[in-house]
A and B are shown apart, each in its own frame.
Chain A
Amino acid sequence: MRTYGYYPGCSQFSSAEEYGDSAVKVAEALGLRLEPLPDWSCCGASSAHMTNHLLSVSLPARNLARARERGGDLVVVCAACYHNLKSAQKALLEDEALASRVEKIIGSNPRFRGRIVHLLDVIYEEVGVEALRERVVNPLRGLEPVSYYGCLMARPPEMMEGDNPDNPRRMDELLAALAAEVKPWSYKTDCCGGSLSLTRADVVVGMVNRLFEAAEEAGADSLVTACPMCLANLEMRQREGKLRFAHEHDLPVFFFTELIGLALGMEEAEAWFSKHLLDPRPLLWRKGVATGSVRGLPGSGTVKARR
């Protein structure tokens, strides 16, 4: 069992609880133990870097100092946290004047030199596609997802170590190892507009709608993401697009960890899927890939209640 420092991020305890839970349990099942940083705090998200640069480095720095004390690498699951922690790390290691200023502010050494790595990359590199394939007990045959990275994991391009920032492939390969029939498309790293979801929903509905249209055009039946902001935004604004554009989308959105868990036959999958605003279970029943408790009883009322 390999252990890593882990930065969970705020969403994983509220709107994306199913992501936090599936990430930790799937990692554990694959031999990776994620140990949360003690008393971690919010990275500041978009609001800090959009309004105050020093704040946008100091808030992540408090967590980087804890990662430094712990040693080893730091695993992150939220694309926004990943982007912020990595940007702050780069700024602190490249600019000693900034680092010493921040050190005075936070009262501890923020110069974390370990690797900040997204769980997707840890699974790809440490477990590997072949080993993952061998662990599958419930192949997701017939499921036709597109992988959707969103913007924050892929930009600036150096964010994406070891994968192509314009056409990243790692998530596709992991999903293919689960026997899902992943569809190629050109919108993998397009922004979903998540940061304006509450303030300019009118702009965001159009962007989300465009993504769902493109996914359908690619022949997909679902989207898979590694970002809690993307998932929340896509689920929240899909319905509105449907009302406004009178276009029938019915594409659920998954976290990549949930599909790995489902393919590994994990019991917890039912609880994860039940948390979605767009219930993905009817699709899983239709495709015959629901397993264990997820199989449930189609027609028992859950299908009707999914909206």
Chain B
Amino acid sequence: MISVTGSGLEKEIERRCGEKVRLCFQCGKCSTGCLFSPAMDFLPHQVMKLVQLGVEERLLSSRTVWICASCVTCTARCPNDIDVARVVDTLREMALERGVRPAEKNIPLFHSCFLANIRATGRISEPVLMGAYKLLSGDLTSDVGLAVKMLRKGKIKLVPSLVRGRREIRRIFRESRRKEMARR
């Protein structure tokens, strides 16, 4: 049911990130400026509307939440000062916490490989990241020529650079994830 006091989803977004999606009056500036809209199933202003209406499942399982590249053009243009990109970040966070099957499976997979790389060594090592992503996504054939060329140019360092404070890094991951989980 549509409530005049705002949907549960709208309230949850506000509690999590402080953004007041109810302020959106559907001017569409966010969607007009969005360079990724051709690949989206819901345009940014539609995402705002769906949050207002509390259509949670379709939103959390949409392509849009993962296609958004956080270029922040929408936020910069919103006449009501809604940080639209932050709302999408929050939706992604919720989708992961709730175990929603992503419509774009490779994008969250890439993020999890990226973060696992930081957790292990403290800095990004491209062969570790790309190797893990390629193996787990099963996309082994694309960009092989590119990887060979990057290796030849010395753009890929085979020995990862290690941070001494790796215990601190692991603690950051443990604590950040624990608190996010406990807040559910």
- Chain A positions within 8 Å of B, measured between CB atoms, are 10-11, 13-15, 17, 39-42, 44-55, 58-59, 62, 101, 104-107, 151-152, 155-157, 165, 190-191, 193-196, 198-201, 203, 206-207, 236, 274-277
Contact = CB atoms under 8 A, between A and B. Distances in A.
Nearest to A207: B35
Contacts of A190: 35
A62 B93 contact: no
Contacts, number: 170
Contacts of A195: 69-70
A199 B102 CA distance: 13
B15 interface: no
B67 A53 contact: no
Given A49-B70, A203-B67, A275-B155, A105 B171 contact: yes
Nearest to A43: B118
Contact of B111 (A42, A47, A157): A47
B43 to A, nearest CB: 15
A106 B130 contact: no
Q: Which are the 5 A-B pairs with shortest beta-carbon distances?
A: A191-B71, A151-B71, A155-B72, A47-B114, A55-B176
B96 interface: yes
Contacts of A53: 16-17, 89-90, 93, 180
A113 B85 CA distance: 26
Interface stretch (B23-31, B50-58, B142-150): B142-150
Best-buried of A44, A51, A190 by chain B (most CB within 10 Å): A51
25 contacts: A13-B157, A15-B150, A41-B123, A46-B69, A49-B70, A50-B89, A51-B111, A51-B112, A52-B180, A53-B93, A53-B180, A55-B176, A105-B172, A155-B75, A191-B71, A193-B36, A194-B69, A199-B104, A199-B107, A200-B67, A203-B36, A206-B38, A207-B35, A236-B143, A277-B146
Nearest to B165: A39
Nearest to B65: A50
Interface in B140-178: 142-143, 146, 149-150, 153-157, 161, 163-165, 168-169, 171-173, 175-177
Contacts of A59: 118, 169, 172
B35 A191 contact: yes
B35 A14 contact: no
Contacts of A55: 115, 172-173, 176-177, 180
Contacts of B175: 54, 58, 104-105
Contact of B155 (A14, A58, A196): A14
Given A41-B123, A50-B70, A236-B146, A62 B111 contact: no
A45 B114 contact: yes
Given A42-B118, A49-B89, 7 more contacts: A51-B111, A54-B179, A58-B176, A151-B71, A151-B72, A236-B146, A276-B153
Contacts of B164: 39
B125 interface: yes
